[in-house]
C-alpha cells in the first residue's frame, strides 16, 4: 500500500509548507512547484516565504491544461531535479504534478486550492493525450496539505463538484460488490467501507454543506482525502470509481471538455446507476440539490442524445471493469427510459 505519510489540514497551514517538507526529509534542498498562473500570483508569496524560512530552493512551473503535452513541457523546464514536486492548485495542477513526479520517480506533495474531487490524495491521474479515456495509476502523494481558509476562497461550484464525486462512491462500491459476487473479483472490505463512509457523511450532512463555512469545507476535504486513501489501500480505483465514472468519461469523449466539472458529471451518473442498482436514488438527488450540484442534463447544457449515447458506450471504454452496465446491457430505448425515470432528462 502507498499511503500519504502526513496530512495537514487547517486554517492558514499553507504558511507551513516549507516546514512540512523538511519534516518529511531534513536533507531536502530543492522543490519544484507546478501550478496555474492565477494561483501562483495569489499564493506564491506565502509559499516562497515558507521556503526561505526553511532554506529550500524553489522553481515554479505554470500550466494551462492537464495534458501530456503539459507534463512533457514541465519535465523539459525542470533543469535541476528537485527533492519534491508539489502540485499547488486545482485538479489540473495536482494531476500534472502527480504525473511529472511519477515519471521522474520523485515524491509528490498535494496542495489543493479547491475541494472538487478525490484526486488530491489518490494515486490516480486524469491526463488528456493518453491512450486510455479514464484515470490511470501513478503514485499516491507522500503528503497532503489542505488550507481550509484557502479552500474557502474557491467557488461554491467546486465544493458542490467535490460532493458529487463523493456521492459517486455509493454506486462505485455497489459495482465492486457486484464484480465480487458475479466475477469473483478481489474485494477489499476495509477500502470499500472507508469509501462508502466518505459518501455517507455527504448524504447525511448535505443540508449543512452548501455554505462555505469551516464545518462544510473541512468535512468535504476530509471525506475526499479519505476516499483517495481508500483507493491507495485497494491498489485500484475500484472503491471510488464505477459505472458512474465510465458515464462521465463517455460524456467527455462525446462532448469534449465543455460538459461540466468531473464531480458534476459523475453526480448525474450516480443518480442513474443508483436506479439500476435498485438503490434509493431520490436521496442522492436530494443531497446533490442540497449542495447546489446539478441533477439534470440541461443544467450542464447536455441534451438527450448525448446522455443516451454516453450510457450506451460507457462500458465499452473499460470492458475489463465489471459494473451494473455489464449486467443490465442498456439499449437506446432502455437508456432513454432510465434517464427520464430519474428526471435527468
Contact indicator for 306, 255 with CB cutoff of 8 Å:
yes
Confidence of residue 135 (pLDDT cuts 50, 70, 90): confident
pLDDT (mean) for 117-136: 83
Average pLDDT along the chain:
95
How does pLDDT run across 196-235, given as a tens digit for each residue? 999 999 999 999 987 778 889 999 999 999 999 999 999 9
Contact 98, 71 (CB under 8 A): no
Q: Which CATH class is domain 6-151?
A: alpha beta
pLDDT at 303: 97
pLDDT tens-digit map of 43-78? 999 999 999 999 999 999 999 898 899 999 999 999
Residues in Cβ contact with 88 at an 8 Å cutoff, skipping those fewer than 6 apart: 33, 34, 35, 39, 40, 43, 47, 97, 111, 113
Q: Has residue 248 got a pLDDT over 80?
A: yes
Res 129: pLDDT: 74
pLDDT level of residue 42 (50, 70, 90 thresholds): very high
Query: Comparing C-alpha atoms, which of 35, 22, 31 is closest to residue 70?
Result: 35
Encode pLDDT of 171-199 as tens digits.
999 999 999 999 999 999 999 999 999 99
Global pTM? Answer: 0.94
Cβ partners under 8 Å of residue 160, min gap 6: 210, 263, 264, 288, 291, 292, 293
State the pLDDT confidence band at 133, using cuts at 50, 70 and 90. low
Please state, in angstroms and rounded to a whole number, the distance separating the CA atoms of residues 223 and 214. 14
Q: Count, in order, helices (H) and strands (E) of the chain.
A: 14, 8
Task: Compare 134 and 107 and report the one with higher pLDDT.
Answer: 107
* Spans of all domains in the chain: 6-151, 156-341
Question: Residue 284 has what pLDDT?
Answer: 98
Instruction: Specify the CATH number for 156-341; select among 3.90.1280.10, 3.30.2350.10, 1.20.1090.10, 3.90.1200.10.
Output: 1.20.1090.10
Amino acid at each position: 500500500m502507498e499511503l500519504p505519510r502526513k496530512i495537514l489540514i487547517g486554517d492558514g497551514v499553507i504558511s507551513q509548507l516549507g516546514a512540512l517538507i523538511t519534516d518529511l526529509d531534513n536533507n531536502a534542498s530543492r522543490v519544484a512547484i507546478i501550478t496555474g498562473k492565477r494561483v501562483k500570483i495569489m499564493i506564491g508569496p506565502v509559499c516562497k516565504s515558507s521556503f526561505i524560512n526553511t532554506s529550500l530552493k524553489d522553481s515554479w512551473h505554470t500550466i494551462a491544461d492537464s495534458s501530456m503535452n503539459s507534463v512533457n513541457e514541465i519535465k523539459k523546464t525542470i533543469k535541476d531535479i528537485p527533492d519534491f514536486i508539489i502540485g499547488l492548485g486545482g485538479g489540473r495542477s495536482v494531476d500534472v504534478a502527480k504525473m511529472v513526479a511519477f515519471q521522474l520517480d520523485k515524491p509528490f506533495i498535494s496542495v489543493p486550492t479547491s475541494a472538487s474531487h478525490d484526486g488530491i490524495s489518490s494515486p490516480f491521474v486524469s491526463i488528456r493525450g493518453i491512450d486510455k479515456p479514464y484515470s490511470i495509476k501513478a503514485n499516491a502523494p507522500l503528503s497532503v496539505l489542505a488550507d481550509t481558509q484557502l479552500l474557502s476562497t474557491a467557488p461554491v461550484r467546486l465544493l458542490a463538484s467535490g460532493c458529487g464525486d463523493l456521492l459517486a462512491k455509493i454506486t462505485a462500491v455497489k459495482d465492486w460488490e457486484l464484480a465480487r459476487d458475479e466475477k469473483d473479483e478481489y474485494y477489499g472490505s476495509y477500502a470499500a467501507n472507508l469509501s462508502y463512509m466518505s459518501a455517507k457523511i455527504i448524504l447525511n450532512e448535505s443540508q449543512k454543506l452548501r455554505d462555505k463555512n469551516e464545518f462544510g469545507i473541512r468535512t468535504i476535504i476530509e471525506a475526499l482525502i479519505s476516499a483517495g486513501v481508500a483507493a491507495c489501500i485497494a491498489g485500484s480505483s475500484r472503491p471510488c470509481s464505477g459505472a458512474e465514472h465510465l458515464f462521465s468519461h463517455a460524456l467527455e469523449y462525446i462532448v469534449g471538455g465543455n460538459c461540466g466539472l468531473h464531480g458534476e458529471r459523475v453526480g448525474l451518473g450516480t443518480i442513474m446507476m443508483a436506479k439500476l442498482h435498485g438503490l434509493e436514488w431520490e436521496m442522492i438527488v436530494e443531497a446533490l440539490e442540497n449542495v447546489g450540484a446539478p441533477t439534470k442534463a440541461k443544467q450542464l447544457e447536455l441534451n438527450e442524445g448525448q446522455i443516451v449515447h454516453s450510457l450506451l458506450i460507457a462500458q465499452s471504454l473499460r470492458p475489463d471493469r465489471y459494473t451494473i452496465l455489464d449486467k443490465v446491457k442498456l439499449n437506446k430505448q432502455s437508456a432513454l427510459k432510465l434517464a427520464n425515470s430519474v428526471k435527468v432528462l
